[in-house]
A and B are shown apart, each in its own frame.
Chain A
């Protein structure tokens, strides 16, 4: 189905029509009018994104299984897991905050990694997963709501605030969480969504 529209790209920010040139590795198409990046050629986009996503899933499990921090004051020790803040907010009656923090720091990253794996794993072996279009649309919708890197800054500010009054010990969970941020960012950087969409057949 090589009709004329398919060699055209439209800018999502200013609606300009741009002819899609033949790209060499790591070149990208930038909108000449507003500067938006429309398409970038990424080598082995699916394979590399799959590897990073698999690694992300492993460190996601570790980040949830081990404590992030320990807080020591006057002989008392308090451990903090990734989910502890959510539980404590809920216990204090702030369920809205508990739901929000849980969604953007745990649930959305988890859904994003697993749905990306659901899409990429079959594609890697030249199979098309069931409901590919729907699942991949979800991945893209979830994207702005996975706030792991912002959460890390929240942890750092909390550590700095408590540094003078107590002893803070960092745990395996925290290092896994940092690795999760790096690997998820690497998966995003490796993936070109257009490459996935081209795998979806157009019903006419």
Chain B
């Protein structure tokens, strides 16, 4: 590409994130309290403190990921015998019982998705930090996938809520939630916020600015 592509930022336009109105940057009062004239949402050229916020949330999720996998997410108490289950042992049980499709689903949602989310958020953050110009379109797609799949990790939490409600037969069998479930749910919610606070336009700003400098 010889000429730099037209972007909203270069045309002094700001896109309202809530209602998609293009707002003239000049028409807004200076300072950070600019609001969209159509929907009243705060408008900003890029999400505020995007990188710092996303880093903080990603690191918090990374730390919580350890208790989420080590602590039991639920405990099955049957005839006085109690058996704690972690995220991983839950998948192992499904495999041992030959329930392959469900085992794969749970493995994907509870193990693959959180790990891939943490890795891809870290990668996106580093690539912007290091001003990478490598395949911005693919990185944007990676961002969109990261943002879209996060919610599916909640499967395990919902499964636990159904199991504790169904299996409460006094001495015969009961299921109790475990502290690992809180840590795991926190990882899911925090990584969702992390993905929301990342601004994919930062990937393209690096590309656009580089093209601007070298005519």
Contacts and interface: CB of A to CB of B under 8 A. Distances in A.
A binds B: yes
B161 interface: yes
B130 interface: no
A76 B168 CA distance: 10
7 shortest A-B CB distances, which residue pairs? A154-B158, A85-B161, A84-B165, A10-B8, A158-B162, A133-B39, A71-B166
A137 B37 contact: no
A79 to B, nearest CB: 9
B202 to A, nearest CB: 10
B151 A150 contact: yes
B102 A197 contact: no
B70 interface: no
Contact of B158 (A35, A137, A140, A153): A153
A163 B16 CA distance: 50
Contact count band on B: 35 or more
B184 to A, nearest CB: 10
Contacts of A35: 137, 140-141
A105 B165 CA distance: 15
Contacts of B151: 144, 147, 150
A85 B165 contact: yes
A157 B155 contact: yes
Nearest to A141: B18
Interface string A165-178: 10010000000000
A83 to B, nearest CB: 9
A10 B41 CA distance: 17
A12 B162 contact: no
A194 B164 CA distance: 43
A136 B18 CA distance: 9
Interface stretch (B51-59, B61-69, B169-177): B169-177
A78 B174 CA distance: 11
A197 B140 contact: no
A30 interface: no
Interface in B177-215: 177, 181-182, 185, 189, 192, 196, 200-201, 203-205, 208
Given A33-B5, A154-B154, A158-B159, A87 B165 contact: yes
Contacts of A86: 161
Nearest to A31: B140
B154 A104 contact: yes
B20 interface: yes
A47 interface: no
B166 A13 contact: no
B6 interface: yes
A16 interface: yes
Contact of A154 (B41, B93, B157, B203): B157
